[in-house]
Amino acid sequence: MARLRYKSFETHQAEIETKANLIQKRTSFRILRLAAVVALGFFSTHLVVANLASANEPLPETPPIPKDNPQTPQKIELGKQLYFDPRLSSTGTVSCNSCHNVMATGDDSVRTSAGVNGHRGDRNSPTVWNSAFWSVQFWDGRAPTLEEQAKGPLVNPIEMGLPNHNEAVKRVKAIAGYRTSFKRVFGGRDPITVDNIAKAIASYERTLITPDSAFDRYLKGEKTAISKDALEGYELAQNVGCFACHSGPHFAGPQLPTGTGFYMRFPTFSENDYVKTYELDKDLGRMKETKKEADKHMYRVPSWRNIAITAPYFHNGSVSKLDEAVRVMAKTQLNRDLKSSEVTKIVKFLESLTGQIPQQTMPQLPLMVGESLVN
Amino acid sequence: MARLRYKSFETHQAEIETKANLIQKRTSFRILRLAAVVALGFFSTHLVVANLASANEPLPETPPIPKDNPQTPQKIELGKQLYFDPRLSSTGTVSCNSCHNVMATGDDSVRTSAGVNGHRGDRNSPTVWNSAFWSVQFWDGRAPTLEEQAKGPLVNPIEMGLPNHNEAVKRVKAIAGYRTSFKRVFGGRDPITVDNIAKAIASYERTLITPDSAFDRYLKGEKTAISKDALEGYELAQNVGCFACHSGPHFAGPQLPTGTGFYMRFPTFSENDYVKTYELDKDLGRMKETKKEADKHMYRVPSWRNIAITAPYFHNGSVSKLDEAVRVMAKTQLNRDLKSSEVTKIVKFLESLTGQIPQQTMPQLPLMVGESLVN
């Protein structure tokens, strides 16, 4: 494994505070953020954005590792087995990998995912690639960590559909190979718990990093790694105002402590055809979770990393092409109508953010002898 | 790759004919086979069986390779990508691997598989492990080769659900990485055809062999590889009459030329509770395909290789445990009520037929940039 280059949360937080002089408390931060969005919509934003951006960092080699869930090779391998195990779904047919396919885009490349019995939800599956860097998980940030995220789909009736977490524990306990692995990885008298299942899966997910995008190589000094168009697109994205939200090494906003989300309203400008055509204001966003009016249409700012390979776009997967997604974002978030040539260049830049997907061995799932777990 | 140890079809066929003096024409063979089954039901069968068995061969290291589809590393890798690619299903959510999981049992360990939109069929998915050795594919043998088999699920409305094979071709053609690979592997002006898609998938499947089961190691001289119980179970399986059908290195009947199936009626004896409980005579078997009364309830004799890990059992997946499957088979095929100790020993023998699942790298699916194929 590469050496840990990631700064502590505290250092990061301190740096953000010093640099932008924005964050003193989360409340004042929220007010400022909203003010910034409004300002961005109406004024030239170059200077503000340049100050906020801090996008000129390559993707870190490793993500933050929580103190209570250190990485070990055995735990990662166990997590990989669990990640690929469809027996963790009610029907025995859906695994984490079904919707977050690590042989491809880290998601499922469809509008909304197919859970057990063909159920479809209303939100597009985010890619698992680099999700270990996000400070909150899900579109609405309702899980503070990968560990908490992993527990959600298991018991979501339209995803993996287990009746409760005890059922997950019961199933894992029924498989001899897992009993041995959990004992070895976690120790103790009763190591198979939903928390340990989630810890193992999260540990595996923390290995799912895609380094060495063309843009990263450009930042590291390989000046020919990206085209002139892509470079112009990078500058355009700044000038247009995209970096107000899509800043930082992940183009997902400032790096905040785990559990603290960087949220933005989408759509911000609703008086346009895109909102209607793509039903962008149908979903309540974070309000669905918090029930607070202030969270209406608020979403975690998604990363641009690998965005060119993770179509279709937005929380509802309603936009199938990247160029259209760029047009929609400029209009709905910045009230800008981009020229065709501008869209093309921004798309070229976004394409340069596709990283290298790591080569992996297939896990071998521990098998049952003489019977099956799900019938 | 291991050296080719498999005999030519002609040599094999000749050997079978000489050895058992049974096969002169397929018609006479069928009559004899039926006569044998009847005889087995009523008489002591030890001598007959010993003559038929020829089970004392380890699993061959490589399967037959058709002359018109030679194995190449590039073709195998391409086939692996296609095998894992859910974009070959109407919804973009079901791949070959969804129902024939090569990280596990080569099947899906559920009664009947989940196709697109949660559809369930009425037959249990056979394991892909060692299917390259079978002379016909599917429960009813309706495909003569792996190539022909691969084409079926693509356009089966309750499996991968494409409207037709042209749609598969169209989708593969839309993916740049596939265009390059097909050109390299197959050459020619228009290399992306459904036949070539099937050839690549079949080539990959011919690598899915599970050698070195405990029983194979026993046959090769490692006398302690299987337990005393398993050895007694092996003898019992012969004496009871199982080998009338489950003969040969695959315990799936005599090795016949590709396209020539070894079929048997199931259930043969219907006057027992098992048939009712497990609805064993509900499915018409091969008759569903051929419309011939003579094919009613006829099925390809399935292999015993890896049977202990491929529960649930039978064409309809109705029996969830191996010991029960043994009891059901003895009753429905040989009209025998086995003692509990006999069942236990036969199960121990069957467990010794679990081979080594090969370690594999994950394929990396060729990705689309800026758009998705399925919405």
CATH number of domain containing B228: 1.10.760.10
The answer to whether residue B12 scores a pLDDT higher than 80 is: no
Three-state secondary structure call for residue B161: coil
Residues B52 and B109 in one domain: no
* B93 closest CB neighbour out of A114, A323, A359: A114
In sequence order, what are the residues at sequence separation of 6 or more whose Cβ sits closer than 8 angstroms to the Cβ of residue A9? A64, A257, A258
Which pLDDT value is given to residue B28?
46
pLDDT tens-digit profile of B68-100?
Answer: 999 999 999 999 999 999 999 999 999 999 999
B372·A322 Cβ contact <8 A:
no
B364·A104 Cβ contact <8 A:
yes
Select from A158, A185, A205 the last residue of a domain.
A205
Single out the residue of A332, A127, A304 nearest to residue A230, CA to CA: A304
The answer to whether residue A12 scores a pLDDT higher than 70 is: no
Cis-peptide, bond into residue B312, ω within 30° of zero: yes
Name the closest residue on chain B to residue A347, using Cα atoms: B370
pLDDT tens-digit profile of B120-136?
Answer: 999 999 999 999 999 99
Residues B225 and B96 in one domain: no
Would you say residue B337 lies in a domain?
Answer: yes
Would you say residue B94 lies in a domain?
Answer: yes
The answer to whether residue B6 scores a pLDDT higher than 60 is: no
CB contacts, 8 Å: B363 with chain A: 103
Would you say residue B155 lies in a domain?
Answer: yes
Q: Distance between CA B262 and CA B253 in Å, rounded?
A: 6
Q: Distance between CA A202 and CA B61 in Å, rounded?
A: 39
CB contacts, 8 Å: B116 with chain A: 114, 118
Asked if A370 has any chain B CB less than 8 Å from its own CB, the reply is: yes
A308·B111 Cβ contact <8 A:
no
Contact between B309 and A373 (Cβ < 8 Å)? no
Q: Distance between CA B284 and CA B280 in Å, rounded?
A: 10
β-sheet bridge partners, residue A285: A298
Residues B177 and B89 in one domain: yes
Q: Distance between CA A36 and CA A32 in Å, rounded?
A: 6
Contact between B263 and B62 (Cβ < 8 Å)? no
* B103 closest CB neighbour out of A101, A102, A363: A363
Asked if B31 has any chain A CB less than 8 Å from its own CB, the reply is: no
CB atoms within 10 A of CB B139: 22
The answer to whether residue B287 scores a pLDDT higher than 50 is: yes
> One-letter amino acid identity for B149?
Q
In sequence order, what are the residues at sequence separation of 6 or more whose Cβ sits closer than 8 angstroms to the Cβ of residue A279? A316, A318
Q: What are phi and psi of A143, to 5 degrees?
A: -115, 130
Single out the residue of B171, B33, B42 nearest to residue B95, CA to CA: B171
pLDDT tens-digit profile of A313-325?
Answer: 999 999 999 999 9
Residues B345 and B294 in one domain: yes
Single out the residue of B128, B131, B135 nearest to residue B253, CA to CA: B135
Q: What is the Cα A239 distance to its own chain's centre?
A: 25
Q: Distance between CA B298 and CA B258 in Å, rounded?
A: 18
How big is chain B by its Cα radius of gyration, in Å? 21
Single out the residue of B240, B248, B259, B233 nearest to residue B344, CA to CA: B233
Domain count, chain B: 2
Q: Distance between CA A138 and CA A152 in Å, rounded?
A: 10
The answer to whether residue B262 scores a pLDDT higher than 70 is: yes
Report the alpha-carbon angle B220-B223-B228, nearest 5.
130
The answer to whether residue B247 scores a pLDDT higher than 60 is: yes
Q: Which residue has the tokens 């043994």?
A: B326
Residue A57 annotated as catalytic: no
Asked if A354 has any chain B CB less than 8 Å from its own CB, the reply is: yes
Q: Distance between CA A156 and CA A241 in Å, rounded?
A: 37
pLDDT tens-digit profile of B299-343?
Answer: 999 999 999 999 999 999 999 999 999 999 999 999 999 999 999
Q: What are phi and psi of B371, to 5 degrees?
A: -160, 165
Contact between A156 and A302 (Cβ < 8 Å)? no
Q: Distance between CA A115 and CA A158 in Å, rounded?
A: 5
Asked if B351 has any chain A CB less than 8 Å from its own CB, the reply is: yes
B312·A375 Cβ contact <8 A:
yes
Asked if A373 has any chain B CB less than 8 Å from its own CB, the reply is: yes
Q: What is the mean pLDDT of residues A190-194?
A: 98
Q: What are the E-state strand segments in B252-360? A: 263-265, 298-300
Single out the residue of B211, B315, B312, B308 nearest to residue B263, CA to CA: B315
Select from A160, A176, A205 the last residue of a domain.
A205
Residues A87 and A35 in one domain: no
Would you say residue B129 lies in a domain?
Answer: yes
CB contacts, 8 Å: B119 with chain A: 118
- The one catalytic residue among A77, A147, A159, A324: A159
Chain A residues 296-325 with a CB less than 8 Å from chain B = 308-309, 311-312, 317, 320-323
* A369 closest CB neighbour out of B93, B309, B363: B309
pLDDT tens-digit profile of B267-285?
Answer: 999 999 999 999 999 999 9
Q: What is the mean pLDDT of residues A177-190?
A: 98
Contact between A302 and A285 (Cβ < 8 Å)? no
- The one catalytic residue among B77, B147, B159, B342: B159
A118·B113 Cβ contact <8 A:
no
Distance from CA of A32 to the nearest CA of B (A): 33
Which pLDDT value is given to residue A55?
53
Which pLDDT value is given to residue A45?
37
Pairing of strands A263-265, A298-300: antiparallel
Distance in angstroms between the alpha carbons of the first and the last residue of chain A: 40
Pairing of strands B298-300, A263-265: unpaired
Hey, what's the torsion of the CAs at A166, A167, A169, A174, to 10 degrees?
A: 140
Tokens of A357: 């997907």
Asked if B344 has any chain A CB less than 8 Å from its own CB, the reply is: no
Mean pLDDT, chain B, whole residue set: 89
Q: Distance between CA A171 and CA A164 in Å, rounded?
A: 11
Would you say residue A322 lies in a domain?
Answer: yes
* B375 closest CB neighbour out of A110, A364, A374: A110
Q: Is A83 exposed, middle or buried (0-12, 13-18, 19+ CB in 10 A)?
A: buried
Residues B217 and B347 in one domain: yes
Name the closest residue on chain A to residue B359, using Cα atoms: A362
A367·B87 Cβ contact <8 A:
no
Contact between B299 and B285 (Cβ < 8 Å)? yes
Q: Distance between CA A309 and CA A109 in Å, rounded?
A: 8
Residues B269 and B345 in one domain: yes
Tokens of B25: 């024409």
Residues across chain B: 375
Contact between A200 and A82 (Cβ < 8 Å)? yes
Mean pLDDT, chain A, whole residue set: 89
The answer to whether residue B38 scores a pLDDT higher than 60 is: no
Would you say residue B51 lies in a domain?
Answer: yes
Name the closest residue on chain B to residue A346, using Cα atoms: B370
Residues B315 and B215 in one domain: yes
The answer to whether residue B183 scores a pLDDT higher than 60 is: yes
A110·B118 Cβ contact <8 A:
no
Q: How many C-alpha atoms does B72 have within 13 Å on its Cβ side?
A: 14
Name the closest residue on chain A to residue B105, using Cα atoms: A367
Which pLDDT value is given to residue B375?
76
Residues A198 and A225 in one domain: no
Single out the residue of A184, A186, A2, A111 nearest to residue B92, CA to CA: A111
Asked if A164 has any chain B CB less than 8 Å from its own CB, the reply is: no
Contact between A123 and A315 (Cβ < 8 Å)? yes
Q: What is the Cα A33 distance to its own chain's centre?
A: 21
The answer to whether residue A27 scores a pLDDT higher than 70 is: no
pLDDT tens-digit profile of A228-255?
Answer: 999 999 999 999 999 999 999 999 999 8
Which pLDDT value is given to residue A136?
98
Asked if B82 has any chain A CB less than 8 Å from its own CB, the reply is: no
Contact between B37 and B266 (Cβ < 8 Å)? no
Q: Distance between CA A312 and CA A326 in Å, rounded?
A: 12
Q: What is the Cα A278 distance to its own chain's centre?
A: 21
Residues A136 and A188 in one domain: yes
- The domain containing residue A165 runs over which residues? 73-205
Asked if B106 has any chain A CB less than 8 Å from its own CB, the reply is: no
Contact between B95 and B89 (Cβ < 8 Å)? yes
Which pLDDT value is given to residue A375?
77
B108·A93 Cβ contact <8 A:
yes
Which pLDDT value is given to residue A46?
37
Distance in angstroms between the alpha carbons of the first and the last residue of chain B: 40
* Secondary structure element (H or E) that encloses residue B10, with its range: helix B9-20
Three-state secondary structure call for residue A117: helix
Sequential DSSP letters for A58-112: PPPSS----TTS---HHHHHHHHHHHT-GGGSTTS---HHHHS-TTTTSS-SSSS
Chain B interface test: which of A77, A78, A95, A110 (most B C-beta within 10 Å): A110
CB atoms within 10 A of CB B30: 12
Would you say residue A357 lies in a domain?
Answer: no
Hey, what's the torsion of the CAs at B338, B340, B346, B352, to 10 degrees?
A: 160
Q: What is the mean pLDDT of residues A133-142?
A: 97
Which pLDDT value is given to residue A49?
38
The answer to whether residue B31 scores a pLDDT higher than 60 is: no
Which pLDDT value is given to residue A272?
97
B323·A110 Cβ contact <8 A:
no
Residues B224 and B238 in one domain: yes
Q: What are phi and psi of B211, to 5 degrees?
A: -80, 180
In sequence order, what are the residues at sequence separation of 6 or more whose Cβ sits closer than 8 angstroms to the Cβ of residue A302? A126, A139, A252
Chain B interface test: which of A81, A91, A94, A103 (most B C-beta within 10 Å): A103
The answer to whether residue A366 scores a pLDDT higher than 60 is: yes
Q: Name which residue leads in pLDDT, B12 or A271.
A: A271
Contact between A111 and A124 (Cβ < 8 Å)? yes
Distance from CA of A118 to the nearest CA of B (A): 4
B108·A119 Cβ contact <8 A:
no
Asked if A328 has any chain B CB less than 8 Å from its own CB, the reply is: no
Would you say residue A361 lies in a domain?
Answer: no
Residues B31 and B84 in one domain: no
Distance from CA of A347 to the nearest CA of B (A): 8
Asked if B363 has any chain A CB less than 8 Å from its own CB, the reply is: yes
